[in-house]
Amino acid sequence: MIRKRAGRSRASRREAPAASAGAFTPDALAVSPRRLEIGGDQVASFAITGFPREVYPGWLQPLLTYPGRLDVSVHIEPIDPVTAGTRLKRQLAKLESDRRYTEQKGRLLDPHVEAATEDAYELSSRVARGEGKLYRLGLYLTVHATSPEELAEEVAAVRSLAASLLLDAKPTSYRSLQGWVTCLPMGLDLIRMRRTFDTAALSAAFPFTSPDLPPSDPTSVAAPTGVLYGYNIGSQGLVHWDRFALDNHNSVILGRSGAGKSYLVKLELLRSLYRGIEIHVIDPEDEYARLTQAVGGTYVHLGAEQVRLNPFDLPVHTRPDGRRTAPKDALVRRALFLHTVIGVLLGSTLHPTERTVLDRAITATYQRAGITTDPRTWTRPAPLLVDLAAVLERSKNRTAQDLAARLDPYVRGAFSSLFDGPTTSKPEGHLVAFSLRDLADELKAIGTLLTLDAVWRRVSNPALRRPQLAVVDEAWLLMQEPAGAEFLFRMSKSSRKRWAGLTVATQDAADILGSELGKAIVSNAATQILLRQAPQAIDEITSTFNLSDGERQFLLSADRGQGLLSTGTQRVAFEAIASPTEHRLVTTDPAELAAMAASSAFAEAEEPYLDLDHAEAADNFADHNGDHVDLGID
């Protein structure tokens, strides 16, 4: 019994490898002079016979990231130092003999021979000093396709790619079977068309570089952190990026109109909310209303009725234990900010005399409201702009009365709707969007300033121990205002210290790159995203971001949603992707919005009829069963 079982066990062990090997054995193999037919696949093999004079690290990466099915096989054979020295000495003797013969005959020197001689001398000296070794390298390619026509197209594409890398790919004619076997993972080189490489060139041939962004922790097997931007155009992998893992958390997105800037910003915003990041959006075009409503955020629609922001509000913060605190110099900083507010309202820089009068009036206004330098009084209701105007009017100083007269349109006139009461809605929550579209042109500057101040007070709140993002869409509108440009500059410098990041998106790169403040904002952004660019702006973009010729052409011809993600030392071309639900929330295509509005109106119109049909069906069911069904319908 034991011997019989042992015999069966040995037989089963012998049959197992054969069965597993049979799973990888093709059903049929047809050999042609330049291709093979393996089962249902068409295969053609090539040997690389010509190489560039100089190679860079990862120079084989374009072959490895070819979008089709391409096998790349590298065979390496070391050469012992004695044999290497002998061969180099023989090669140097041959090259020197050719040079001397050419000089004796009075002929022109061959530049290829001169370059080969210099390389041979340099390589010989490195080998003699032990700085490198010599190897024999064979590089072979195998192209796969499903039909002869497709194989011809793939072969042409691969040979063009190899030619762009200065590689000469020769078909393994009449040795197609040997070429295919050489590219299999068996370690067999049946073609033996090799080239001598030194250590430096051989190390550069290994694909240590990758078109994918490096993970923050290469040793971790956990899922990638950060936000999903889309898929990698070069490797078809996913592009995850964590801005909060860098030195600073700022981001700049530049692209022409229609390139997909707002679409990408909204995707990043929506996916950042899942990570517990608090987000504040300054929306000059009223594009974030649907998204804010869908996620339960706070939407502050400046310019609408009964929507106000009081510039006199002190930055009083509520701590987790319920206590209300404020910075020690909160009142002084608020007074200085009010100087800026009045200057923006009046549209001119205040003179020293006007600043002195205004400073006294601001202090008197707070005192009339019961707010003094005692921090315990800072929780009282803040005064309004009309209170400041009243203090200026009561003064006998002509400068104060002049300031009061110039403030009258914003106190009692047509522009008073933004200041005629206390702040109506607190800009708090996981997502806060400030819409500036419906503000009058005369109030754009002050509305922008008050919005930026509200965002900064939230970001600088020490009681908030969570990452935050401030998103400024269409930043070119804010860059036209000195107050907006200075705020973006200060926040790009200081946000990192408060665990916050600034996202600046604009379609007019000239407004950002044409000023010193704009260039400072770009230089302080560790994450830089370039979408499709206009030909008129591509030269400045190329010089600012040091783009290569290939990257320049990519940005000129990129489709909507495609761009270049730059993180300093790493750059990757990607295309943004969104789920259907995300797409409905972030799209701004007028045709799609009209279609969604029409379908929503149709559903609302059909709803009563659907309810009536359900009621009649339920009544019929009740009559048939002799029971009463209460649907709650009168």
The answer to whether 88 and 127 have CB atoms below 8 angstroms apart is yes
Q: pLDDT tens digits for 584-598?
A: 888 887 888 888 778
pLDDT, tens digit, for every residue of 28-70? 888 998 899 988 889 999 999 988 877 777 788 788 778 788 9
| Residue range 319-333: mean pLDDT, rounded | 66
Residue labelled with tokens 């050489």: 182
Cα 584 to Cα 568: distance, rounded to the nearest angstrom: 33
- CA atoms of 48 and 138, how far apart (whole Å): 8
Q: How many CA atoms lie within 13 A of 619 on its CB side?
A: 9
Q: Which of 42, 38, 30 has the alpha carbon at shortest distance from 150? A: 42
pLDDT, tens digit, 9 for 90 and up, residues 106-123: 777 777 777 777 777 777
Phi, psi values for residue 348, rounded to 5°: -155, 165
Residue 528 β-bridge partners: 252, 566
In degrees and rounded to multiples of 5, residue 568 shows phi and psi of 95, -90
Given this model, what pLDDT does residue 320 score? 52
pLDDT score recorded for residue 20: 46
Output the pLDDT for position 211: 59
Beta-sheet pairing, 571-576 with 562-566: antiparallel
CA separation for the pair 529, 566 (Å, rounded): 6
In whole angstroms, give the CA distance from residue 596 to residue 600: 6
Is pLDDT above 50 for 628? no
pLDDT of residue 527: 86
For residue 619, the Cα-to-chain-centroid distance in whole angstroms is 57
- pLDDT category at 138 given cuts 50, 70, 90 is very high
Residue 511: predicted pLDDT = 66
210 pLDDT above the threshold of 60:
no
pTM above 0.75, yes or no: no
For the chain, first and last CA: distance in Å? 84
Residue 602 CA: distances (Å) to CA of 64, 586, 608, 616: 52, 22, 11, 22
pLDDT in tens, 539-594: 888 888 888 777 888 888 888 888 888 886 678 888 888 888 888 888 887 888 88
The beta strands (E) that lie in 200-294 are given as 227-232, 238-241, 251-254, 278-283
Residue 523 pLDDT class (50, 70, 90 cuts): confident
Long-range contact set of residues 451-456: C-beta below 8 Å, sequence gap at least 24:
451/282, 451/300, 451/302, 451/309, 452/282, 452/478, 452/483, 452/484, 452/487, 453/311, 453/337, 454/309, 454/427, 455/280, 455/282, 455/427, 456/487, 456/491
**Which residue in the block uniquely carries the two structure tokens 């309202």?**
345
**Which tops the pLDDT comparison, 308 or 23?**
308
For residue 428, the model assigns a pLDDT of: 81
Region 307-333 average pLDDT? 71
Using CA atoms, how far apart are residues 265 and 587, in angstroms rounded to an integer?
Answer: 11
Range picked from 12-26, 218-232, 339-353, 392-406 for highest mean pLDDT: 392-406
Q: Residue-wise over 597-607: b if at least 16 C-beta within 10 A, else e? A: eeeeeeeeeee
- Distance CA(508)–CA(246), nearest Å, equals 26
Under a CB-based contact definition with an 8 Å cutoff, are residues 473 and 283 in contact?
A: yes
344 neighbors 445 (Cβ within 8 angstroms): yes
Q: Averaged over 343-353, what is the pLDDT?
A: 81
Mean pLDDT of 260-288: 87
| Cα dihedral 48→53→58→62 (10° resolution) | -50
Query: What is the C-alpha to C-alpha distance for residues 148 and 63, in angstroms, rounded to an integer?
Result: 22
The Cα 344–Cα 340 span in angstroms is 6
Average pLDDT over residues 455-469: 80
In which band, very low, low, confident or very high, does the pLDDT at 222 lie, cut at 50, 70 and 90?
Answer: low
How large is the C-alpha radius of gyration of the chain? 36
**Of all residues in the chain, what percent carry a pLDDT higher than 90?**
10
Which residue would you say has higher pLDDT here, 619 or 411? Answer: 411
Helices (H), 395-528: 398-411, 441-459, 475-479, 482-494, 509-513, 516-523
CA dihedral (178, 184, 186, 187) positive or negative: positive
Q: Residue 1: pLDDT above 60? A: no
- Among 21-25, 252-256, 507-511, 596-600, top mean pLDDT goes to 252-256
